[in-house]
C-alpha cells in the first residue's frame, strides 16, 4: 500500500518504507520508524508548516 495517511498505515501494515528524493530513506517496523532519529523520517512523522508547503 502507498499512503501518507499514517493512522491507516499503522493499522494495516507491519513494515514501512519511506522514499525521499527517489531513494529508499528508511525500511523497518513501526517501532523502528517511530524511534528513528533520521531527519527525513522525523519530518515525515511530524511535518512542519514549512515542509508541507515547500
Q: Tens digit of pLDDT for each residue in 10-36?
A: 999 999 999 989 999 999 999 999 999
Provide the 10 A C-beta neighbour count for residue 16: 19
CA distance 21 to 11: 26
Choose among 43, 38, 45, 41: nearest CA to 54: 43
% of the chain residues with pLDDT over 70:
94
CA distance 2 to 4: 7
Instruction: State which H helix or E strand residue 50 sits in.
Output: helix 49-52
Give residue 53's pLDDT: 65
Mean pLDDT of the chain: 90
CA distance 41 to 17: 10
pTM for the structure as a whole: 0.79
Amino acid at each position: 500500500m502507498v499512503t501518507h495517511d499514517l493512522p491507516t498505515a499503522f493499522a494495516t501494515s507491519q513494515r514501512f518504507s519511506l522514499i525521499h528524493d527517489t531513494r529508499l530513506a528508511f525500511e523497518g517496523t513501526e517501532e523502528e520508524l517511530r524511534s528513528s532519529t533520521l531527519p527525513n523520517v522525523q519530518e515525515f512523522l511530524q511535518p512542519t508548516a514549512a515542509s508541507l508547503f515547500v
